[in-house]
Amino acid sequence: MPRYKLTVAYEGTEFHGWQKQHPPGAEPLRTVQEVLERAVMEVVREPVVLHGASRTDSGVHARGQIAAFTTTTVLPLDRVAVAINARLPDDVQITRAVTVAETFDPIADAISKGYRYSIFHGLPTEIRRPMFDRRLVTYVPAVLDPGRMHAAAAGLVGTHDFASVTRVNHGRESTTRTVLACSVTASTSHRLRIDVSGTGFLYNMVRIIAGTLVEVGRGRLEPGAVPEIIARRDRTAAGPTMPPEGLCLMWVRYGGTKARRHEGTE
Amino acid sequence: MPRYKLTVAYEGTEFHGWQKQHPPGAEPLRTVQEVLERAVMEVVREPVVLHGASRTDSGVHARGQIAAFTTTTVLPLDRVAVAINARLPDDVQITRAVTVAETFDPIADAISKGYRYSIFHGLPTEIRRPMFDRRLVTYVPAVLDPGRMHAAAAGLVGTHDFASVTRVNHGRESTTRTVLACSVTASTSHRLRIDVSGTGFLYNMVRIIAGTLVEVGRGRLEPGAVPEIIARRDRTAAGPTMPPEGLCLMWVRYGGTKARRHEGTE
């Protein structure tokens, strides 16, 4: 049976995250998985189960989420994304569709993932605030130093026990993960982005990394403090969990090919 | 009495345009003028009348709208914009505040204005659609040729009777205006923008110019046909009125100084 791998982009603002949620006795919440699975079923005209690579939280965006489904229906590849998109609301879209092996597992087969956290920063007494893209960036009412943040980011790279930067009661056995790269780039005097990639991420890990780097950027922590914060394996040592609107899942990489970032959406 | 000139940016999506509208027996509609005037009155603690340079339509955006009000309250200039912004919703903001002569009239004193119309184009059978900025661009389901459009745009420049590119029953006496410049720029293979500036604009003029240039871009009209379309002074000779979401008032120029585009908002 054909199995399809979809690259999915969404603005998370009006979704309750990726994963389906059916509260007992109530309507299912509006989640990306729910909305996308329904659109796929309308196209293939049979029940399908849609699996995603990353369970992004409520309000978190994606440019390169990966989802997969198996169907008995053979679909022409050049039409499957267009057909699904025609049945999707305007805050989610397929940007690419390919066929994959029947055994393809979007979670287990993922080699690495990349996230971006976007920040608009400035003193609250300044006029400047984000507006046209306010749903896609987090506003930080302080002046941040991207150079200090970038220096601190280097302290995250490598294989570590990241218990300091995940939610307490995270419910996973091991908190050891590998961060492949972490960089902080200023695009204007008021805008910066944190790009972090790794082989896997703990719950809230990117948002707490961002919060910790913001503490460095505003001068409350020294860049050299990051390795010690990680070594303490204590959530209270790290910075706050940043809000979801600045976070975006950029790509998921599988066996040698990286899901391209801008295949469809610009 | 001090008179203040404000540069105003807004996302027009959820506004019924600039101008106040109070339907009889109903709540006033949500307009930029209404919302902004109320915020100003909260700051100055007295009634004010706020005048704008351009009555943008429902759904049209602005980066450089100009508004002015006179008050008996003397406000420190470095705080007036921050104080007003603190009382504004997140889809409108002041990006600059200056004091002006008591006689300053934002409509009569305007020397020129600039608008931008932003388009995302591509065949409907293609995957690509705008998503993250879907409220700020118009999607055109066709492949457009920006070079042809730019060539056609030159035919609009100058002082002409623009009756062909305004709404029938426009209600103004003269339909002669001067277009100072009109250019079409492709930013990616799917995105282009039309920038037009002039000493004054008729109702729907930029949206009909955009619709006419789109007809050229898709090959239904020749670039050289534009002067003839204008010369006919007949609305039916021009292209369709494009929807509001692609349109943005970029700047209004007064006596030698141009309202800067990015003073506050980025």
Read off the tokens for A96. 């690419």
What number of helices (H) and strands (E) belong to chain B?
A: 5, 11
* Cβ within 8 Å, pair B85-A127: yes
Domain containing residue B239: CATH number: 3.30.70.660
Of A82, A90, A91, the CB nearest to B125: A82
- Domain end, chosen from A108, A139, A154, is at A108
Beta pairing, strands B110-121 & B138-140: parallel
B262 in a domain, yes or no? no
Q: Are residues B244 and B117 in the same domain?
A: yes
B258 in a domain, yes or no? no
Find the domain containing B51 and state its range: 3-108
Q: Are residues A126 and A239 in the same domain?
A: yes
Return the residue matching tokens 């009634």.
B47
* Cβ within 8 Å, pair B85-A129: yes
In this structure, of A147-151, B77-81, B141-145, the range with the lowest mean pLDDT score is: B77-81
* Cβ within 8 Å, pair A190-B266: yes
User: What mean pLDDT do residues B96-122 have?
Assistant: 96
What pLDDT score does A265 carry?
A: 41
Of B9, B127, B136, the CB nearest to A264: B127
Read off the tokens for A3. 């199995």
B79 in a domain, yes or no? yes
Cα–Cα distance measured from residue B230 to residue B207, given in angstroms and rounded to the nearest whole number: 15
Mean pLDDT by 10 residues, chain A (266 residues): 96 97 92 98 96 97 98 89 94 95 96 98 86 96 97 98 86 87 96 97 97 98 97 96 98 70 41
Are B107 and B84 in contact, with CB atoms under 8 Å apart? no
Of A79, A130, A265, the CB nearest to B131: A265
pLDDT digits (tens, 9 = 90+) for B19-43: 999 989 999 999 999 999 999 999 9
Residues of chain A with a CB closer than 8 angstroms to some CB in chain B: 9-11, 61, 79, 81-82, 85, 90-96, 120, 124-134, 136, 188, 190-191, 263-266
* Cβ within 8 Å, pair B130-A266: yes
Beta pairing, strands A61-70 & A247-254: parallel
At residue B204, the 3 state secondary structure works out as coil
Beta pairing, strands A92-100 & A61-70: unpaired
Q: Are residues A151 and A47 in the same domain?
A: no
Cα-to-chain-centroid distance, residue B32 = 13
**Is B161 among the residues known to form the active site?**
no
What pLDDT score does B168 carry?
A: 76
Cα-to-chain-centroid distance, residue B65 = 8
* Cβ within 8 Å, pair B134-A90: yes
- Domain end, chosen from A108, A132, A156, is at A108
Return the residue matching tokens 């049945």.
A87
Cα–Cα distance measured from residue B137 to residue A98, given in angstroms and rounded to the nearest whole number: 29
A231 in a domain, yes or no? yes
Contacts of B132 in chain A (CB under 8 A): 9, 11, 61, 133, 136, 265
What pLDDT score does B169 carry?
A: 66
What pLDDT score does A171 carry?
A: 63
ipTM of the complex: 0.87
B256 in a domain, yes or no? no
**Tell me, what amino acid is at A225?**
A
- Domain end, chosen from B81, B108, B135, is at B108
Query: Alpha carbon of A36 to those of A8, A15, A32, A90: distances in Å?
Result: 9, 12, 6, 12
Q: Are residues A86 and A123 in the same domain?
A: no
Are B192 and B123 in contact, with CB atoms under 8 Å apart? no
At residue B138, the 3 state secondary structure works out as strand
* Cβ within 8 Å, pair B128-A11: no
Query: Which candidate in B61, B125, B131, B193 is best for mutational testing of the A interface (most A CBs within 10 A)?
Result: B131
Q: Are residues B81 and B156 in the same domain?
A: no
Closest residue, chain A, to B135 (C-alpha): A132
What pLDDT score does B256 carry?
A: 52
Domain count, chain B: 2
Q: Are residues A127 and A89 in the same domain?
A: no
B64 closest CA partner among B110, B31, B21:
B110
Are B92 and B264 in contact, with CB atoms under 8 Å apart? no
* Cβ within 8 Å, pair A129-B93: yes
Cα–Cα distance measured from residue B201 to residue B113, given in angstroms and rounded to the nearest whole number: 8
Q: Are residues B153 and B95 in the same domain?
A: no
Q: Are residues A8 and A53 in the same domain?
A: yes
Closest residue, chain B, to A81 (C-alpha): B127
Contacts of A128 in chain B (CB under 8 A): 95, 264-266
Q: Are residues A103 and A51 in the same domain?
A: yes
A214 closest CA partner among A254, A243, A178, A255:
A243
Cα-to-chain-centroid distance, residue A188 = 23
Q: Are residues A79 and A187 in the same domain?
A: no
B264 in a domain, yes or no? no
Q: What is the DSSP string of B47-91?
A: ----EES--PPTT-EEEEEEEEEE-SS---HHHHHHHHHTTS-TT
Cα-to-chain-centroid distance, residue B93 = 16
Residue A127 to chain B, least CA–CA distance (Å): 6
Residue A92 to chain B, least CA–CA distance (Å): 7
Q: Are residues B125 and B222 in the same domain?
A: yes
B34 in a domain, yes or no? yes
What are the phi and psi torsion angles at A208 (to 5°)? -80, -35
Q: Are residues A25 and A100 in the same domain?
A: yes
Domain containing residue A65: CATH number: 3.30.70.580
Are B69 and B50 in contact, with CB atoms under 8 Å apart? yes
3-state secondary structure chain A: CCEEEEEEEECHHHCCCCCCCCCCCCCCCCCHHHHHHHHHHHHHCCCCCCEECCCCCCCCEEEEEEEEEECCCCCCHHHHHHHHHCCCCCCEEEEEEEEECCCCCCCCCEEEEEEEEEEEECCCCCCCCCCCCCCCCEEECCCCCHHHHHHHHHHHCEEEECHHHCCCCCCCCCCEEEEEEEEEEECCCCEEEEEEEECCCCCCHHHHHHHHHHHHHCCCCCHHHHHHHHHHCCHHHCCCCCCHHHEEEEEEEECCEECCCCCCCC
B201 in a domain, yes or no? yes
What pLDDT score does A75 carry?
A: 87
